Structure 1
Amino acid sequence: MCSLLEEERRLHDQLLPTRVRAVRKLLMLADHRRIPLAKLHHCRAVLGLPDDFRDRVREFPGDFRVAVDPDGRDVLELARWDPALAVSALERDFVVDERRVRRTFRFAVPHSRSMPLDAEDADRLDAATTFPLVSPYTSGALLRPWTPEAEKYRVGVVHEFLSLTLEKRALIHHIFEFKEELGLTRHMHASLRKQSHAFYLAGTEMNWAVFLRDAYGGDGDLREKDPLVLFNEKLRRYACMTKMDSSESIATAY
């Protein structure tokens, strides 16, 4: 167990630059570019952050500032905007596979089957109803509430948030921990259900989890596993060991 704890500590140290980058992107998604540190700490396992991340943010003054909000909470603020980070996972994939990304989201536009559309108009309508029009790194406050553009923005924000998580999935309370910062609404379950190409939802409407479909293979396993995910899998194997398994493992080691 001591060796496992030491391995976990080394992993968190090695992965810290990657986690800092993910938190910077999360702050760039957030309204006013700030998030209470307590919220990040509560969701640290989902984001792959070390337990002492709240203390270690001060090691990165070029990336973060720690301030106190009017409610007396410690908040983490973005120190600088980086245009290179303001690119969503979908936008990166768009360059590689435009056709697949265009099919990721579908926002149906009601129209008659007999609606006369030439090829150019049909392509334009298809582009408007599939690929999100608004980058999640723009300000959602500029959009009119309850419009298709606002819904596309919110769905895109959730997609990008999930892409920053350790296992490309999250529970409802992890997502709604950042409800105010990300401009989400209580109708997100219904919005995400309509996007079956992008998300898989499990559970009930009151207690659900959401997965990024493209991150998982046909066997239900992650296509690309973070080193911390691999470590957690090893930890679970140790936890499920029987006394006989343990004896055999020790004998093999010797």
Structure 2
Amino acid sequence: MHLKPIIALKNVVIQEPSASIPISAISKRGLEFDIHVKVARFLRQYPSIFEEFTGPMHNLPWFRLTQEAVETDREERIVYEECREELRERLRRFVLMSKDKVMPLKIVKGMEWYLGLPSDFLEQPEVNLDGSFRFVDMEDGLKGLAVESEGRKVLSVLQRNAMKQGVYFGEPMEAIEFPLFPSKGLRLRRKVEDWIKEFQNVPYVSPYEDYSHLDPTSDVAEKRVVGFLHELLSLFVEHSAERRKLLCLKKYFGLPQKVHRAFERHPHIFYLSFRNKTCTAILKEAFRDKYAIEEHPLLKVRKKYIKLMKKSDVILRNRRSNNRFVDRGDLEKEKELEFELRG
């Protein structure tokens, strides 16, 4: 899926004073946008988003957004404006789950796409952040973002839902069961099913609570890791993320070295997709129970961009069909001319 580089390029184009840009200005920035083909070729793959025209000088190709893309960008900006507090709360929760309530800015920047934050969110702290956030110096010369919990207890999605159902009362080391969604056709051995039932009765430690007292080899520690991954994916726009992108979080969230095994050991909670040579971890509950996890405010906008991407496929397919029709017509004319010359 090329949605992320498309939106990044869209932002570059729309920020220009003329809302257009010559290909020469971005042709050598492919790696910056995680594009592995020529940038011009990439832009031409999406004619429903990027419109090509001849520039004012030297007949160079320029690109601007189509009207539909401009309107979708406008909707996106409205979401950022109206949902600033909601997005701020997601960032706050992300940092509060960390070991010391502080995260390196480079890690936060790397998670902006998943959290649904605009790329300039941290660059405008006076507008986007409140007094609970502060920038700090970390070890190794890193700059970090710290958050004060302000003395209030932060509940995870799992805790809030369990309280609504009357099966959790907020007591220390109280058990909470994870909603399970078995895949069709997946059969587990009897002893594995028994272990899952036992695991559900293990005490639940919220990702916002201190875990330093836990034995890292215990079932309680494993349930804490599963609970962390559940909460993290709940915060993300699409409730999914590339598995390798999550591995860089181990140090700051107190995760075990082989945290990736949690996805494999709990197939009723997580689903692993291996499309396009990429392993993506997906939270099943977000897709099986639409009332359990609040929809991210940016999700509808991203779906509109995806719809535009699919529209590009139709446009390109029609262009190819028209070209074939024209080519066949030219071939028939050549045959007729050759016949006349022979006659």
Match of 2:75 among 1, 4, 7: 7
CA displacement at 1:159 relative to structure 2:
0.9
CA offset digits 1:97-124 (Å, max 9, x no partner): 349x62537xxxx8xx9xxxxxxxxxxx
TM-score (norm 1): 0.75
Corresponding position: 1:238 with 2:313 = no
Give the Cα separation in 1 of the matches to 2:293 and 2:228.
22
Q: List per-residue Cα deviations over 1:2-40 (Å, max 9, x = no partner).
A: 333232222112122111111111111101100111111
- Does residue 1:93 correspond to 2:161, yes or no? yes
Q: Could you say which residue in structure 1 is the equivalent of 2:139?
A: 70
Equivalent residues of 1:63, 1:79 under 8 A apart: yes
Distance 1:145 1:48, change over 3 A: same
SS at match of 1:188: coil
Query: Does structure 1 retain, via aligned residues, the 8 Å contact 2:199–2:219?
Result: no
Provide the rounded CA distance (Å) in 2 between the counterparts of 1:8 and 1:129: 40
Q: 1:17 to 1:207 in 2, by over 3 A?
A: same
- Identify unmatched segments of 5+ residues in structure 2: 1-68, 169-175, 181-190, 318-343
Alignment of 1:63-142 (within 5 A): 63-84=132-153, 86-97=154-165, 98=167, 102-104=177-179, 129-130=200-201, 132-142=203-213
Distance across 1 between alignment mates of 2:179 and 2:150:
28
- The question of whether the paired residues in 2 share the 8 Å contact of 1:168 and 1:212 is answered with yes
Compute the displacement of 1:230 (Å). 0.9
Q: Distance in 1 between matches of 2:105 and 2:243?
A: 19
Paired residues of 2:134 and 2:145 also in contact (CA < 8 A): yes
Alpha-carbon displacement from aligned partner over 1:121-152 (angstroms, at most 9, x marks no partner): xxxxx676435431221122221222222111
Report if aligned partners of 1:30, 1:182 keep a CA contact under 8 Å in 2.
Answer: yes
Amino acid of the residue matched to residue 114 of structure 2? V
Contact between 1:216 and 1:223, CA under 8 Å: does it hold in 2? no
Alignment pair present for 1:152 and 2:199? no
Question: 2-side partners of 1:224 and 1:81: how far apart?
Answer: 24
- Over residues 173-227 of structure 1, what are the superposed CA-to-partner deviations in whole Å (9 max), with x where a residue is unaligned? 33223211111123222223222232222239x9522211111039x9x986433
Question: 1:177 and 1:13 mapped to 2: Cα distance?
Answer: 30
- Larger RCO: 1 or 2 (CA < 8 Å, sep 6+): 1
Q: Quote how far apart the aligned CAs of 1:240 are.
A: 2.9
Q: Secondary structure of the equivalent of 1:32?
A: coil
Q: How do residues 159-238 of structure 1 correspond to structure 2 at under 5 angstroms?
A: 159-203=230-274, 208-217=279-288, 225-238=295-308
Distance 2:203 2:115 in 1: 24
Runs of 5+ consecutive residues of structure 1 not aligned to the other structure? 114-125, 246-254
Distance in 1 of aligned mates of 2:70 and 2:305 = 12
Q: Which amino acid aligns with 1:77?
A: A
Look up the equivalent residue of 1:238 and give its one-letter code: L
CA distance in 2, matches of 1:18, 1:132: 30
Q: Report the TM-score when normalising by structure 2.
A: 0.57
The 8 Å contact of residues 68 and 75 in structure 1, kept in 2 or not, is answered as: yes
What residue number does 1:121 align with? none
Aligned letter for 1:74? K
Shift in Å at residue 165 of structure 1? 0.8
**Count of paired positions:** 223
The 2-side partners of 1:169 and 1:239 are apart by: 20
1:53 is aligned, of 100, 118, 121, to: 121
User: Structure 1 pair 131/150, CA: closer, same or farther in 2 (3 Å)?
Assistant: closer
User: What do you get for the CA RMSD once the two structures are aligned?
Assistant: 3.2
Seq. identity, %:
24
Letter of the aligned partner of 1:46 in structure 2?
Answer: Y
Amino acid at match of 1:75: G
Return the letter of the residue paired with 1:152: K
Distance 1:131 1:216, change over 3 A: farther
